[in-house]
Amino acid sequence: MLAAFLPRLPRGAHDDVGNGDDAAVLRIGDPRVVATVDTLVQDLDYRPVWPNGRVTRGHDVGFKGVAQNLSDLNAMAAYPIGLLVSLAMPADTPVDWVLSLADGIADAIHTLGAEGCSVAGGDLSGAREVVLTITALGRLDDAGPVLRSGARPGDEIAVIGRVGEAAAGLALLETAPESGSPPGAPAGAALFEELISAQLRPRPPLGAGAAAARAGAHALMDLSDGMLRDAERLARASGVRVDLDTARLAGFADRLAPAAALLGADPMHWCLAGGEDFGLLAAFTPGTVPAGFTAIGSVADGAAELLVDGRPSTTTGWDHFAA
């Protein structure tokens, strides 16, 4: 298995010793290394076959595992240099599915713009279900890191990347065909496929974290568990009051309206409470929000809390243990 799996994975410019020894050796100029780890678990983070009939390919799982890790590095204004991949799976997992997972890892590195990032090593083991754990390592330049704890009263809150699309895609995947098939119109079908892709193969805006740091961002974090939950985390970490303006999120919600109409859902709920978009939430001095970011709220003195349109919200985001 490893003889077929490993050649599919990229090597990078920072590799001194790659796969094949007991540990990898990476050359890093800056002594500071940014490290993060994420796990995807079968039947918790994805279904092998979704209620709408979609089959999850190994490629999807590999791609998403990389994307969610690189998103964390992006939120620290770091550049990815290496991955460590641990895969545990049942003995009867098809070889083609496993090799597809390796292809998904390589595709994510290329498609997301992380060229030069290698898969430096990892582990392979048995389990009752598929469990993919990836550790990502990154380097910093002089602008980083930017922490979630730096937002200041008077700052603007801004977002970059997709908002609510992964949640809309999840809702489509979880809907059985007889109760919610996408209409046959090409425009509708294309949009729904894009939303499903946002869930299965998310596209974090790599490079936006470093750009935000160069623009003087006071705080950064990625949007993995939903706008409300993550904005509240930023507020508490920074000791400030964050107020989100739903009128400024209307453009994101409008894009989701066809899927919401099909499923009888509220697109703004997807924008606020849906997770796994893997965009960035940032705090900037007013007038310094860089291109590509959309201002969606403000920061003020007061209790460390999150408000929506000036009022507390009872809606929350993704909870790994309540799923």
Residues belonging to the binding site for Mg(2+) are: 22, 36, 38, 72, 123, 222, 225
Residues making up the annotated binding site are 22, 36, 38, 45, 72, 122-123, 148, 222, 224-225, 276, 318
Residue pair 24/82 in contact (Cβ under 8 Å)? The answer is yes
Residues in binding site for ATP: 122-123, 148, 224
Per-residue three-class SS string for 112-172: CCCCCCEEEEEEEEECCCCEEEEEEEEEECCCCCCCCCCCCCCCEEEEECCCCHHHHHHHH
> In this structure, how many other beta carbons lie within 10 angstroms of the beta carbon of residue 174?
14
**Residues with Cβ < 8 Å from 298, sequence gap 6 or more?**
154, 155, 156, 157, 242, 243, 245
Q: What is residue 186's three-state secondary structure?
A: helix
Residue in the structure block whose two tokens are 């949007």: 223
Tokens of 51: 């209620």
Binding-site annotation: residue ranges for substrate: 45, 276, 318
Residue 231's nearest CA partner among 320, 146, 313 is: 313
Q: CB under 8 Å to 59, separation ≥6 — which residues? A: 100, 101, 103, 104, 107
Q: How far apart are CA 114 and CA 69, in angstroms?
A: 12
